[in-house]
Amino acid sequence: MSSTDKNFPDERMNHGMRGVTILGSTGSIGVNTLDVLARHPGRYRVLALTANTHVDRLFEQCRQFSPQKAVMLDPRAAAQLKEKIHKAGLAVEVLAGGEGLNTVATHPRAHIVVAAIVGAAGLLPTLAAVRAGKRVLLANKEPLVMSGRVFIEEARVSGAELLPVDSEHNAIFQCMPAGYRTGATPAGVRRIFLTCSGGPFRTVPPEALASVTPEQACAHPNWVMGRKISVDSATLMNKGLELIEACWLFGVTPDQVEIVIHPQSVIHSLVEYADGSVLAQLGNPDMRTPIAHALAWPERIESGVKSLNLFEIARLDFESPDLDRFPCLRLAYAAARAGGTMPAILNAANEVAVQAFLDQRIGFTDISRVIEHTLSSLPASQDAELGAVLSDDARARETAGRFIAGRESRVVQGVT
């Protein structure tokens, strides 16, 4: 028996072990989740791992953790992985596409599903896991942003546990009353303070933002993240999406959520109660803390995160966000208040705009312009059912794409 087999034996060897599926295992959340799981070999077994196109990275994870199944969203990548798995003699079944994601998200032995696929692509497999009654660790905020009502209602019906992994939402959850279940309106809560670092451009002169490069936008001062979420953090759209997610997770209105810039990223969020008490969750900026908390809740397990040294930190600073510097946050508040499918439209336009920025087709400050144009061009449906959400998501992507193409055309005409 290999060392990996010893660490992650078949379920028949230990009925107390919990099977874990990771949707998006090659990203930063997936990698950190595997790090935590490896620290508890007698408690968890990696059942399935999934990725989009990172064949080599997923193959190495298969060699280390011996999952029963591996899924590549891209069919050509799945064929490449299958060949590598076969040559290595690994007993891993390779699946492909959205159907493969749904299969591992609903597998009877998957007690825990980590939803870490970036963007709208994670919506359907995450919803499948919720409908199957799993413990779903939400690291992907887009499903709740796009269709929060659907997810909360489906969780109530199936008995699924929705546990947040985003550091801020996990902090809020830890500060909620004992026995609190996500989706319910918490008793006695007055306000939620959602913290953010302010990203890499918190003190950059506003006139310099137009010339920001993708490399600069992806250089987050405190967190190591993927490129898309790093750009969202630089524009503060990430905090806007988290605002919408918080409203659904914790049963509050947008006006009960206050964004607070906290550059040290030590206080991950706070909850204010009716009696004036304010509870905060502190810790080093390391995603393994919220991951370990959600995996073992209501217990606590070792995460590998070093102890917080308050004497090294010495001070904690707080600022109000500048909505002129960060117009994406203003747009997110507007979408949250509008409700219906407007958050889905916001999210779709942002995804298209961020990708165009990363591809160097538009500038950094154009991201908010694309989003604002899309929001003002499309009336939101108040029907928040899944069909309406997906329809408006598609319309928003098309509208944002046309606007970007029009700007490119005007630039070319101006040059010539």
Asked if residue 193 has pLDDT above 90, the reply is yes
Whether the CB-CB separation of 292 and 298 falls below 8 Å is answered with no
**What tokens does 314 get?**
């010495």
Asked if residue 55 has pLDDT above 90, the reply is yes
> Which CATH entry fits the domain spanning 339-416: 1.10.1740.10, 3.50.50.100, 2.160.20.60, 3.30.70.1230?
1.10.1740.10
Q: For position 157, what pLDDT does the model report?
A: 97
- Assigned superfamily of 3-164: NAD(P)-binding Rossmann-like Domain (3.40.50.720)
Residues 340-352 have a mean pLDDT of 96
Whether the CB-CB separation of 25 and 51 falls below 8 Å is answered with yes
Which of 163-177, 201-215, 287-301 bottoms out in mean pLDDT, i.e. has the lowest?
201-215
Q: For position 222, what pLDDT does the model report?
A: 66
Handedness of CA 18, 24, 30, 34 (dihedral sign): positive
Q: For position 415, what pLDDT does the model report?
A: 44
For residue 410, what pLDDT band results from cuts at 50, 70 and 90? low
Residues 125-147 have a mean pLDDT of 94
Residues 320-347 have a mean pLDDT of 95
pLDDT digits (tens, 9 = 90+) for 396-405: 999 999 999 9
Rounded to a whole number of angstroms, the CA Rg of the chain reads 21
User: So where are the chain's domains?
Assistant: 3-164, 183-285+310-337, 339-416
Asked if residue 416 has pLDDT above 60, the reply is no
The whole-chain average pLDDT of the chain stands at 92
Kindly give, in sequence order, each residue whose CB lies less than 8 Å from that of residue 92, ignoring residues fewer than 6 positions away. 62, 66, 67, 68, 69, 70, 85
Whether the CB-CB separation of 184 and 159 falls below 8 Å is answered with no
**What tokens does 217 get?**
């936008």
| Half-sphere exposure (Cβ direction) of 214: Cα atoms closer than 13 Å | 14
CA angle 371, 334, 205 (to 5 degrees): 60
Whether the CB-CB separation of 79 and 61 falls below 8 Å is answered with no
Torsion angle (degrees, nearest 10) of CA 27, 130, 35, 221: 50
| Rounded Cα distance, 251 and 253, in Å | 7
For residue 122, what pLDDT band results from cuts at 50, 70 and 90? confident
Q: Which amino acid is at 348?
A: A
